A and B are shown apart, each in its own frame.
Chain A
């Protein structure tokens, strides 16, 4: 079983602050994907990282894939209330199957 550990599980910050959440595993993945999920909705894809050491930016969100392709981080700059949500990381293995972490619940207080 490929386990992904996400930390912290819950994070509450004030609007305008920066935050970083982490996704760690002992397994190597062919790619890793980050999603944001709102209550009662399906996850929405934010980014896919494939190459070890890769950094991708999506507006105020910065995603990094570890050199060994086992871990990843998501950094949000100047967080806004619209960033509130459950951030899920998922590692892809054979047959395109995804293994999900439990998520980072982020709450941005106005």
Chain B
């Protein structure tokens, strides 16, 4: 199957700082990538659709100024959590699709102190 990577795998930061998470499709090009967050023992919640060369599309209730998405190339999308607060602590997962199915990255565990 297709391979999607994420970096970093985990990050701990102080409240008020910004954190950037990278999502890469390693063996295919993706004009669209997706960003999810997952709280403990809950399912994945779609945050936004990242579109190469254009603005991201955010789901209802997700602050676009809080979660900045940049999709500058066909293999890389970044999610920046700006001015992070403890309630932003979560598991962030990206996905990309070479065709019909979506393939997920290994996730990034964010802990905001």
Contact = CB atoms under 8 A, between A and B. Distances in A.
Interface of A: 31, 33, 35, 40-45, 48, 50, 88, 90, 92, 95-103
Nearest to B60: A1
A98 B34 contact: yes
B1 A45 contact: yes
Interface stretch (B14-22, B39-47, B79-87): B39-47
Contact of A43 (B46, B104, B109): B104
B43 A42 contact: no
Contact of A97 (B49, B104, B106): B49
B104 A35 contact: yes
A98 B34 CA distance: 9
Contacts of A88: 43-44
B41 to A, nearest CB: 8
B104 A44 contact: yes
A102 B42 contact: yes
Contact of A96 (B1, B44, B102): B102
Interface of B is mostly: strand
Contact of B106 (A42, A92, A96): A42
Contacts of B67: none
Nearest to A35: B104
A95 B49 contact: yes
B100 A50 contact: yes
21 contacts: A31-B100, A33-B101, A33-B102, A40-B91, A40-B107, A41-B106, A42-B6, A42-B104, A43-B104, A45-B102, A48-B100, A90-B102, A95-B32, A96-B97, A97-B49, A99-B46, A100-B43, A100-B44, A102-B42, A102-B43, A103-B43
